[in-house]
Protein backbone atom coordinates (compact mmCIF):
# COMPACT_ATOMS: atom_id res chain seq x y z
CA UNK A 1 0.00 0.00 0.00
CA UNK A 2 1.37 3.42 -1.00
CA UNK A 3 1.57 6.41 1.33
CA UNK A 4 -1.10 8.11 -0.78
CA UNK A 5 -3.45 5.14 -0.51
CA UNK A 6 -2.86 5.06 3.22
CA UNK A 7 -3.81 8.73 3.41
CA UNK A 8 -7.11 8.24 1.58
CA UNK A 9 -7.83 5.10 3.57
CA UNK A 10 -7.41 7.06 6.80
CA UNK A 11 -10.39 9.33 6.11
CA UNK A 12 -13.43 8.66 8.34
CA UNK A 13 -15.93 8.81 5.42
CA UNK A 14 -18.70 9.75 7.84
CA UNK A 15 -19.63 13.44 7.81
CA UNK A 16 -17.61 13.97 4.63
CA UNK A 17 -17.40 11.42 1.80
CA UNK A 18 -14.44 11.37 -0.60
CA UNK A 19 -14.06 9.47 -3.87
CA UNK A 20 -11.36 9.91 -6.50
CA UNK A 21 -12.17 9.34 -10.17
CA UNK A 22 -9.72 10.03 -13.01
CA UNK A 23 -7.79 12.58 -10.99
CA UNK A 24 -10.84 14.39 -9.61
CA UNK A 25 -11.54 14.20 -5.87
CA UNK A 26 -15.27 14.44 -5.21
CA UNK A 27 -15.73 15.76 -1.67
CA UNK A 28 -19.31 15.50 -0.45
CA UNK A 29 -20.78 16.91 2.77
CA UNK A 30 -22.77 14.02 4.20
CA UNK A 31 -25.55 15.23 6.48
CA UNK A 32 -28.44 15.19 3.99
CA UNK A 33 -31.05 14.96 6.75
CA UNK A 34 -29.77 18.37 7.98
CA UNK A 35 -29.25 19.76 4.48
CA UNK A 36 -25.51 19.35 5.13
CA UNK A 37 -25.40 22.07 7.77
CA UNK A 38 -21.88 22.39 9.13
CA UNK A 39 -21.40 20.74 12.52
CA UNK A 40 -18.17 19.97 14.40
CA UNK A 41 -18.02 16.60 12.61
CA UNK A 42 -17.88 18.24 9.18
CA UNK A 43 -15.42 20.87 10.40
CA UNK A 44 -12.83 18.47 11.77
CA UNK A 45 -13.24 15.95 8.95
CA UNK A 46 -12.79 18.66 6.32
CA UNK A 47 -9.51 19.70 7.94
CA UNK A 48 -8.35 16.09 7.64
CA UNK A 49 -9.67 15.73 4.08
CA UNK A 50 -7.78 18.80 2.87
CA UNK A 51 -4.59 17.61 4.57
CA UNK A 52 -4.80 14.28 2.74
CA UNK A 53 -5.84 15.63 -0.68
CA UNK A 54 -3.08 18.23 -0.65
CA UNK A 55 -0.49 15.44 -0.58
CA UNK A 56 -2.36 12.94 -2.75
CA UNK A 57 -0.50 12.73 -6.07
CA UNK A 58 -3.43 11.04 -7.83
CA UNK A 59 -5.63 14.10 -7.26
CA UNK A 60 -5.39 16.99 -9.72
CA UNK A 61 -8.62 18.82 -8.93
CA UNK A 62 -11.06 18.94 -6.00
CA UNK A 63 -14.84 19.26 -6.38
CA UNK A 64 -16.91 20.12 -3.30
CA UNK A 65 -20.61 19.35 -3.21
CA UNK A 66 -23.33 18.01 -0.92
CA UNK A 67 -25.21 14.75 -0.44
CA UNK A 68 -28.93 14.76 -1.19
CA UNK A 69 -30.75 17.93 -2.19
CA UNK A 70 -28.43 20.54 -0.67
CA UNK A 71 -24.93 21.92 -1.06
CA UNK A 72 -25.10 23.18 2.52
CA UNK A 73 -27.57 25.12 4.64
CA UNK A 74 -24.67 26.84 6.43
CA UNK A 75 -23.77 26.50 10.09
CA UNK A 76 -25.74 24.11 12.28
CA UNK A 77 -27.13 26.63 14.79
CA UNK A 78 -27.54 24.07 17.54
CA UNK A 79 -24.32 22.05 17.21
CA UNK A 80 -22.08 24.92 16.19
CA UNK A 81 -23.37 27.74 18.37
CA UNK A 82 -25.65 26.73 21.25
CA UNK A 83 -23.90 23.53 22.38
CA UNK A 84 -20.28 24.82 22.11
CA UNK A 85 -21.26 28.06 23.88
CA UNK A 86 -22.41 25.96 26.84
CA UNK A 87 -19.17 23.98 26.93
CA UNK A 88 -15.52 24.59 27.71
CA UNK A 89 -14.28 27.95 26.30
CA UNK A 90 -11.05 26.42 24.99
CA UNK A 91 -12.97 23.76 23.04
CA UNK A 92 -15.28 26.46 21.69
CA UNK A 93 -12.35 28.54 20.44
CA UNK A 94 -10.72 25.45 18.99
CA UNK A 95 -13.85 24.69 16.97
CA UNK A 96 -14.21 28.26 15.71
CA UNK A 97 -10.55 28.38 14.72
CA UNK A 98 -10.74 25.07 12.85
CA UNK A 99 -13.92 26.16 11.07
CA UNK A 100 -12.63 29.52 9.87
CA UNK A 101 -9.31 27.96 8.96
CA UNK A 102 -10.57 25.46 6.40
CA UNK A 103 -13.50 27.50 5.10
CA UNK A 104 -11.51 30.60 4.29
CA UNK A 105 -7.73 30.74 3.88
CA UNK A 106 -7.22 27.02 3.38
CA UNK A 107 -9.76 26.90 0.55
CA UNK A 108 -8.61 30.12 -1.10
CA UNK A 109 -4.95 29.09 -1.16
CA UNK A 110 -5.37 25.34 -1.60
CA UNK A 111 -2.55 24.23 -3.92
CA UNK A 112 -4.87 22.38 -6.31
CA UNK A 113 -7.79 23.83 -8.29
CA UNK A 114 -11.13 23.67 -6.52
CA UNK A 115 -14.69 23.76 -7.86
CA UNK A 116 -17.89 24.23 -5.87
CA UNK A 117 -20.69 22.16 -7.42
CA UNK A 118 -23.86 23.65 -5.93
CA UNK A 119 -26.53 20.97 -6.22
CA UNK A 120 -29.23 22.52 -4.03
CA UNK A 121 -29.57 24.73 -0.97
CA UNK A 122 -26.66 27.13 -0.36
CA UNK A 123 -27.19 29.38 2.65
CA UNK A 124 -25.23 31.58 5.05
CA UNK A 125 -21.95 30.01 6.07
CA UNK A 126 -21.93 27.90 2.91
CA UNK A 127 -21.11 31.10 1.00
CA UNK A 128 -17.64 30.95 2.56
CA UNK A 129 -17.03 27.58 0.87
CA UNK A 130 -18.68 28.65 -2.36
CA UNK A 131 -16.48 31.74 -2.62
CA UNK A 132 -13.41 30.03 -1.17
CA UNK A 133 -13.40 27.65 -4.14
CA UNK A 134 -11.71 28.87 -7.32
CA UNK A 135 -14.71 28.27 -9.56
CA UNK A 136 -18.37 27.35 -9.11
CA UNK A 137 -21.11 25.65 -11.11
CA UNK A 138 -24.70 25.50 -9.87
CA UNK A 139 -27.93 23.72 -10.61
CA UNK A 140 -29.98 26.48 -12.20
CA UNK A 141 -32.79 25.70 -9.75
CA UNK A 142 -30.55 25.68 -6.65
CA UNK A 143 -31.64 28.01 -3.83
CA UNK A 144 -29.22 30.60 -2.44
CA UNK A 145 -29.75 32.90 0.52
CA UNK A 146 -28.12 35.04 3.18
CA UNK A 147 -30.87 34.50 5.72
CA UNK A 148 -29.03 35.63 8.86
CA UNK A 149 -31.03 38.85 9.09
CA UNK A 150 -34.12 36.71 9.68
CA UNK A 151 -32.45 35.07 12.71
CA UNK A 152 -31.48 38.38 14.27
CA UNK A 153 -27.78 37.92 13.44
CA UNK A 154 -25.36 39.17 10.80
CA UNK A 155 -23.55 37.08 8.15
CA UNK A 156 -20.44 36.65 10.25
CA UNK A 157 -17.44 34.36 10.02
CA UNK A 158 -15.98 35.69 6.80
CA UNK A 159 -19.27 35.53 4.86
CA UNK A 160 -19.84 39.28 4.51
CA UNK A 161 -16.25 39.85 3.41
CA UNK A 162 -16.53 37.06 0.82
CA UNK A 163 -19.79 38.41 -0.57
CA UNK A 164 -18.42 41.97 -0.68
CA UNK A 165 -15.44 40.77 -2.73
CA UNK A 166 -17.60 38.85 -5.21
CA UNK A 167 -20.68 41.02 -5.76
CA UNK A 168 -21.40 44.63 -6.49
CA UNK A 169 -22.35 46.77 -3.50
CA UNK A 170 -25.99 47.00 -4.57
CA UNK A 171 -26.40 43.24 -5.02
CA UNK A 172 -24.47 42.33 -1.86
CA UNK A 173 -26.39 44.72 0.38
CA UNK A 174 -29.73 43.77 -1.14
CA UNK A 175 -29.39 40.08 -0.31
CA UNK A 176 -27.68 40.70 3.05
CA UNK A 177 -30.32 43.22 4.18
CA UNK A 178 -33.44 41.45 2.89
CA UNK A 179 -32.52 37.79 3.37
CA UNK A 180 -34.31 37.16 0.06
CA UNK A 181 -33.51 33.90 -1.71
CA UNK A 182 -32.51 33.53 -5.37
CA UNK A 183 -31.88 30.67 -7.79
CA UNK A 184 -28.85 29.42 -9.70
CA UNK A 185 -29.68 31.45 -12.79
CA UNK A 186 -29.60 34.63 -10.73
CA UNK A 187 -26.39 33.47 -9.04
CA UNK A 188 -24.77 33.30 -12.48
CA UNK A 189 -26.20 36.66 -13.54
CA UNK A 190 -24.74 38.45 -10.49
CA UNK A 191 -21.38 36.70 -10.72
CA UNK A 192 -21.68 34.42 -7.69
CA UNK A 193 -21.11 31.29 -9.82
CA UNK A 194 -19.47 30.81 -13.20
CA UNK A 195 -22.28 28.79 -14.75
CA UNK A 196 -25.78 27.60 -13.93
CA UNK A 197 -26.94 24.49 -15.77
CA UNK A 198 -29.89 22.10 -15.64
CA UNK A 199 -29.57 19.59 -12.79
CA UNK A 200 -29.07 16.65 -15.14
CA UNK A 201 -26.03 18.37 -16.69
CA UNK A 202 -24.40 19.45 -13.42
CA UNK A 203 -21.98 16.55 -12.90
CA UNK A 204 -20.97 16.36 -16.57
CA UNK A 205 -20.31 20.10 -16.79
CA UNK A 206 -18.32 20.05 -13.56
CA UNK A 207 -16.29 17.04 -14.72
CA UNK A 208 -15.48 18.75 -18.02
CA UNK A 209 -14.28 21.86 -16.21
CA UNK A 210 -12.15 19.79 -13.81
CA UNK A 211 -10.51 17.99 -16.74
CA UNK A 212 -9.77 21.30 -18.45
CA UNK A 213 -8.04 22.58 -15.32
CA UNK A 214 -6.02 19.38 -15.02
CA UNK A 215 -4.63 19.90 -18.53
CA UNK A 216 -2.76 22.95 -17.26
CA UNK A 217 0.68 23.04 -15.69
CA UNK A 218 -0.15 22.50 -11.98
CA UNK A 219 2.75 24.61 -10.71
CA UNK A 220 1.74 27.58 -12.86
CA UNK A 221 -1.95 27.09 -12.09
CA UNK A 222 -1.18 27.22 -8.37
CA UNK A 223 0.89 30.37 -8.82
CA UNK A 224 -1.88 32.03 -10.87
CA UNK A 225 -4.51 31.64 -8.15
CA UNK A 226 -2.11 32.67 -5.37
CA UNK A 227 -1.06 35.77 -7.29
CA UNK A 228 -4.68 36.72 -7.88
CA UNK A 229 -5.63 36.56 -4.22
CA UNK A 230 -2.64 38.59 -3.07
CA UNK A 231 -2.68 41.27 -5.77
CA UNK A 232 -6.37 42.15 -5.49
CA UNK A 233 -5.61 43.77 -2.12
CA UNK A 234 -2.37 45.49 -3.25
CA UNK A 235 -1.73 48.87 -4.78
CA UNK A 236 -0.79 48.95 -8.47
CA UNK A 237 2.88 49.58 -7.69
CA UNK A 238 3.05 46.82 -5.09
CA UNK A 239 1.26 44.41 -7.44
CA UNK A 240 3.72 45.11 -10.25
CA UNK A 241 6.69 44.34 -7.99
CA UNK A 242 5.03 41.26 -6.53
CA UNK A 243 4.04 39.83 -9.92
CA UNK A 244 7.54 40.29 -11.31
CA UNK A 245 8.97 38.36 -8.37
CA UNK A 246 6.19 35.75 -8.50
CA UNK A 247 6.80 35.19 -12.21
CA UNK A 248 10.51 34.51 -11.58
CA UNK A 249 9.68 32.23 -8.65
CA UNK A 250 7.17 30.28 -10.74
CA UNK A 251 9.70 29.65 -13.51
CA UNK A 252 12.41 28.65 -11.03
CA UNK A 253 10.18 26.18 -9.19
CA UNK A 254 8.47 24.66 -12.22
CA UNK A 255 9.61 21.02 -12.66
CA UNK A 256 8.07 21.00 -16.16
CA UNK A 257 9.97 24.10 -17.32
CA UNK A 258 6.68 25.09 -18.90
CA UNK A 259 7.65 28.60 -20.03
CA UNK A 260 10.58 27.26 -22.04
CA UNK A 261 8.44 24.54 -23.62
CA UNK A 262 5.63 26.95 -24.46
CA UNK A 263 7.97 29.52 -26.00
CA UNK A 264 9.78 26.87 -28.03
CA UNK A 265 6.55 25.39 -29.37
CA UNK A 266 5.23 28.85 -30.25
CA UNK A 267 8.34 30.63 -31.56
CA UNK A 268 10.55 27.85 -32.95
CA UNK A 269 8.43 24.83 -33.78
CA UNK A 270 5.33 26.86 -34.72
CA UNK A 271 3.32 23.98 -33.24
CA UNK A 272 1.40 25.90 -30.57
CA UNK A 273 -1.06 28.76 -30.92
CA UNK A 274 -2.28 30.50 -27.76
CA UNK A 275 -6.03 30.33 -27.25
CA UNK A 276 -6.36 26.84 -28.70
CA UNK A 277 -5.43 24.89 -25.58
CA UNK A 278 -2.47 24.20 -23.32
CA UNK A 279 1.02 23.73 -24.68
CA UNK A 280 2.13 20.10 -25.02
CA UNK A 281 3.29 19.04 -21.58
CA UNK A 282 5.05 15.79 -22.60
User: Is the pLDDT score of 1 beyond 70?
Assistant: no
* Measured distance CA(185)–CA(237) in Å, rounded: 38
Residue 151: the pLDDT is 84
Is residue 69 domain-shared with residue 186, that is, in the same domain? yes
Q: Is residue 41 a part of any domain in this protein?
A: yes
Q: Is residue 193 a part of any domain in this protein?
A: yes
Is residue 99 domain-shared with residue 144, that is, in the same domain? yes
Residue 66: strand, helix, or coil: strand
The DSSP annotation for 20-52 comes to EETTEEEEEE--GGGTT-B-HHHHHHHHHHHHH
Is residue 180 domain-shared with residue 225, that is, in the same domain? no
Instruction: Compute CA distances 18 → 64, 108, 148, 184, 244, whole Å.
Output: 9, 20, 30, 25, 38
Is residue 126 domain-shared with residue 167, that is, in the same domain? yes
* Measured distance CA(111)–CA(225) in Å, rounded: 9
User: Is the pLDDT score of 82 beyond 70?
Assistant: no
87-138: per-residue pLDDT in tens? Answer: 667 777 787 787 777 888 899 999 999 999 999 999 999 999 999 999 999 9
Poorest-pLDDT segment among 37-41, 83-87, 98-102: 83-87
**What mean pLDDT value characterizes the chain?**
90
Share of the chain above pLDDT 90, in %: 73
Which CATH number belongs to the domain containing residue 170 in this structure?
A: 3.90.226.10
Is residue 89 domain-shared with residue 167, that is, in the same domain? yes
pTM of the complete model: 0.91
Is residue 207 domain-shared with residue 224, that is, in the same domain? no
Is residue 226 domain-shared with residue 171, that is, in the same domain? no
Q: How many residues does the chain have?
A: 282
* Measured distance CA(66)–CA(27) in Å, rounded: 8
User: Is the pLDDT score of 278 beyond 80?
Assistant: no
Is residue 79 domain-shared with residue 201, that is, in the same domain? yes
129-183: per-residue pLDDT in tens? Answer: 999 999 999 999 999 999 999 988 899 888 999 999 999 999 999 999 999 999 9
pLDDT average, residue stretch 275-282: 73
In a 10 Å sphere around its CB, with 0-12 CB exposed, 13-18 middle and 19+ buried, how is residue 81 labelled? Answer: middle
Instruction: Compute CA distances 266 → 208, 256, 263, 270, 274, whole Å.
Output: 26, 16, 5, 5, 8
Residue 177: which domain range?
Answer: 3-214
Residue 4: the pLDDT is 45
Q: What angle do CA 28, 192, 21 make, to 5 degrees?
A: 30
- Which band of pLDDT confidence, cut at 50, 70 and 90, is reported for residue 5? very low
User: Is the pLDDT score of 80 beyond 80?
Assistant: no
Residue 177: the pLDDT is 97
Is residue 235 domain-shared with residue 148, that is, in the same domain? no
User: Is the pLDDT score of 35 beyond 60?
Assistant: yes
The DSSP output letter for 280 is P
Share of the chain above pLDDT 70, in %: 93
- Which band of pLDDT confidence, cut at 50, 70 and 90, is reported for residue 276? low
pLDDT average, residue stretch 189-211: 98
* Residue 43: closest CA among 125, 153, 122: 125
Is residue 209 domain-shared with residue 251, that is, in the same domain? no
- Whether residue 264 contacts residue 256, with contact meaning beta carbons closer than 8 Å, is answered with no
The DSSP output letter for 9 is H
Specify the number of domains making up the chain.
2
Q: Is residue 22 a part of any domain in this protein?
A: yes
Strands (E), 41-172: 61-66, 70-72, 114-118, 121-123, 135-139, 143-145
Q: Is residue 275 a part of any domain in this protein?
A: no
Instruction: Using the 3D structure, point to which of 178, 199, 214 is the last residue of a domain.
Output: 214
In a 10 Å sphere around its CB, with 0-12 CB exposed, 13-18 middle and 19+ buried, how is residue 237 labelled? Answer: exposed
- Whether residue 67 contacts residue 17, with contact meaning beta carbons closer than 8 Å, is answered with yes
Amino acid sequence: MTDQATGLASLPQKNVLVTVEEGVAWVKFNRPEKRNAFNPGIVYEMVQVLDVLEMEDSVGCVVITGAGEAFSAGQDLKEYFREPDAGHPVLRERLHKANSGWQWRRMMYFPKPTIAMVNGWCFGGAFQILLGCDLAIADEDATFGLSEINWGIIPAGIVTKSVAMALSQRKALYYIMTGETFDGRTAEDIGLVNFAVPKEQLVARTTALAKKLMEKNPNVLRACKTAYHYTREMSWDMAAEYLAAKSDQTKYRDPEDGSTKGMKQFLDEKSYRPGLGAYRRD
